[in-house]
Amino acid sequence: MAHSLTRSLIEAHLLEAPASAAWPNGGELVLGVDHVVAGGGAALLTLAAFASLRRPRVAVDLALACADRGGAAVFDDAEALRELKEAALGHGVWFSRPGHGRCDLVHRERFAAPGRLSLVAGRRTPSAGALGALSLMAGPLEAAAALGGAPHLLAWPGLLAVNLRGSLSSWVGGLDVALELLRRLPAGGARGMIVEYGGPGVALLDIAERFTLAALGGVLGACTSLFPSDEVTRTWLQAQGRESDWKRLEVEPRGGSDETLELDLDAVEPMVAEIGRAIAPRLVRQANGARVDQVEIGPEAGISDLVRLARLLEGHRIADGVSLTILPGTRQVLETLGRNGSLRALTDAGARVLEVGAPRGAPPALAREAVGLCFGSDAAERLASGSRWLLAGLQPCAAAALRGRVTDPREIEAASAPAPGPLAAPEGWLLRPPAPGSEPQAGTPPITLPLGRPLDGPLRGTVLIRLGHQVTTEQILPWGARVRPLLGNLAALSEHAFAAVDGDFASRARVLGGGFVVAGRDYGSGVAHLPAALVPMLLGVRALLAVSCAPDYRRLLVQVGVLPLAFAVPEDYEALAQGDELEIPGLPESLEPEKPLVVRNLSQGTQYAVRHDLPPREIALLRAGGLLRDLALEDRP
């Protein structure tokens, strides 16, 4: 049977042979990691977690930490920034200075290479798969574990093969391809699968379109995307001065995928999609005429994209009443635009080009009946703005900026896309760690991450809070502009736990010495971020009793050492009250796969059956006290 490129790369990184019945049709894969990448707040948490393991140096080929825009507020304190830098370099981690660029993009420029497997700590879908690299999202604790030499455990997500034929017209690009694919996929999109692009049409996609498609994997519902490594890849790496990193990796025409989708690139038209709880694609011509107040070109836009935009705007001025904002993703992008004249063309047309890493601030409210268009921006951030935004390709964004309304780009004058010329090589922004054996004493990260408590006996405590249904991570820990900067001060951050629901929760948890959280259906829904699991653990929460829990959040609870349980009889949830004294007897011995547990309500003299879906590996983590304590125990003689 032919192998997919995805399967070939995974097999090259397997540390344990999976059972034949589990691969490739499911099961957990134990993978070795080449690179670990973490930026902003994720870098702070990852390095703090690694420091708690007390290991002298990272055990991966390359690790990169960046104080990028995503964590700018965390590093307003110069002392905290210095501590982060010293902790990184002292442990063998490359450090990217503030203003160099977003971490995953810096990694893509400087280090990503065909055949490598990278973990990227954060919630953005990585785009290094456009280079033939397998790049996976991970949480900060998983990234720290990999830094310490632990394997990465991947539940096989399935593989969607997208076979491309034909070629794109000059008025469409990677975003239009992604939206056309989304329109053809069933509800749920790619359902967390890996998307692998192949077919004769791939060779005709330039690197900018590949980067765009890979970055939009999250919009498609994919966990990551993968392209072959061919002459297009080689040319780009050569321009970066990294041709030695290139090797050819090809996609098999019929490579054992779980699902296949065919797409003729000749038939793709310019598209837009309204950003909402669900992305709804449609043709640009179906949205023609809607008034546009703002156009944003975000950090995912590469050098070739912005050179093309400059050529489209050259000799013109953007329409009155329209704001065109460009946020370069890296220092290399900005300096190259300055060298080749594109920066001048963009600003002469009326665009506002921000400094790399400069906070854009909250976008101003759009006028009623107006929309904003964005390319290369984070869809979730635009959704949170509360205004009506459309995802659009570079060409529709240019047309809207010039006309002041949504416009089919085929209505404006065509422009060729010249080569960007030699790429800038910014100096002094990336700090290399000392060679092994010559490191200075490693510094201490700005925060200390406590280890979870081992599950070494029955759990007894108070119901600290009883919550309703569909409690989101935003309600567990607000994660906006006021709270996010407190990541460098965990004690202050903990004061905001459940603040919107119960302002006394933190003080009550401290007085009572911890206990239980009781909740209804879909607890922990929304964006699962580590602080929303870490803060309750720091306040003494030992277990969650819920009707159901969001899978991503449940995984984080296990990693920090909090036991997630579900009521066997959902109606039992109604019987519990805040302040009840509970006990879970028989632990840790009774915590076994598929074995129910009993919760005794000592206040009411009743008991309830609870269940869990924990596999043996997660049970071992909980008994140890979470992922970090489990790794720390492995180091004991």
User: pLDDT band for position 447 (50/70/90)?
Assistant: confident
What's the average model confidence in pLDDT over 143-150? Answer: 96
Backbone angles phi, psi at 84, to 5 degrees: -65, -45
Is the per-residue pLDDT at 417 higher than 90? Answer: no
Backbone angles phi, psi at 239, to 5 degrees: -65, -30
Over the stretch 354-400, which tens digit does the pLDDT of each residue have?
A: 999 887 665 555 666 678 999 998 876 766 666 789 999 999 999 99
The pTM for the full model equals 0.93
Dihedral of CA atoms 272, 274, 279, 282 in degrees, nearest 10, equals -40
Pick the more confident residue, 357 or 208: 208
Most confident option among 106-120, 250-264, 356-370, 409-423: 106-120
Angle made by CA atoms 327, 170, 278, in degrees to the nearest 5: 55
Over the stretch 556-603, which tens digit does the pLDDT of each residue have?
A: 999 999 999 999 999 999 999 999 999 999 999 999 999 999 999 999
**Per-residue confidence (pLDDT) for residue 379, from 0 to 100:** 73
In 288-403, where does DSSP find H-type helix?
Answer: 303-313, 331-340, 342-348, 379-384, 394-403
In the chain, the amino acid numbered 612 is: H
User: pLDDT band for position 421 (50/70/90)?
Assistant: confident
Task: Give the residue extent of every domain in the chain.
Answer: 5-267, 271-407, 459-634
Please count the helices (runs of H) and the strands (runs of E) in the chain: 22, 26
Pick the more confident residue, 3 or 279: 279
Pick the more confident residue, 77 or 546: 546
What's the average model confidence in pLDDT over 522-542? Answer: 96
**Per-residue confidence (pLDDT) for residue 188, from 0 to 100:** 83
- Which CATH superfamily hosts domain 459-634? Aconitase, domain 4 (3.20.19.10)
Lowest mean pLDDT among 158-172, 255-269, 511-525: 255-269
Is the per-residue pLDDT at 618 higher than 70? Answer: yes
The rounded distance, in Å, linking the Cα atoms of 68 and 65 is 9
SS (H, E, C) 210-270: HHHHHHCHHHHCCCEEECCECHHHHHHHHHCCCHHHCCCECCCCCCCCCEEEEEEHHHCCC
**Per-residue confidence (pLDDT) for residue 633, from 0 to 100:** 74
Is the per-residue pLDDT at 214 higher than 90? Answer: yes
Give the percent of the chain with pLDDT over 70: 92
Q: Which residue has the tokens 């980067």?
A: 211
Three-class SS state of 570 = helix
Angle made by CA atoms 127, 133, 136, in degrees to the nearest 5: 60
227: Cβ contacts below 8 Å, ≥ 6 apart: 129, 130, 131, 132, 196, 197, 202, 210, 213, 214, 233, 251
Over the stretch 6-64, which tens digit does the pLDDT of each residue have?
A: 999 999 999 987 765 556 666 789 999 999 999 989 999 999 999 999 999 999 999 99
**Per-residue confidence (pLDDT) for residue 25, from 0 to 100:** 65
Is the per-residue pLDDT at 71 higher than 50? Answer: no
Tell which CATH classification among 3.40.50.2300, 3.40.640.10, 3.30.499.10, 3.40.50.300 matches the domain 5-267.
3.30.499.10
What's the average model confidence in pLDDT over 261-265? Answer: 97
Backbone angles phi, psi at 252, to 5 degrees: -70, 140
Domain at 271-407: CATH architecture = 2-Layer Sandwich (3.30)
5-267 shares its CATH topology with 459-634:
no
Across the chain, mean pLDDT equals 91
H/E element, 165: strand 159-165
C-beta of residue 70 within 8 angstroms of C-beta of residue 175: no
Over the stretch 88-139, which tens digit does the pLDDT of each residue have?
A: 999 999 999 999 999 999 999 999 999 999 999 988 889 999 999 999 999 9
Is the per-residue pLDDT at 152 higher than 90? Answer: yes
Q: Which residue has the tokens 């490594």?
A: 229
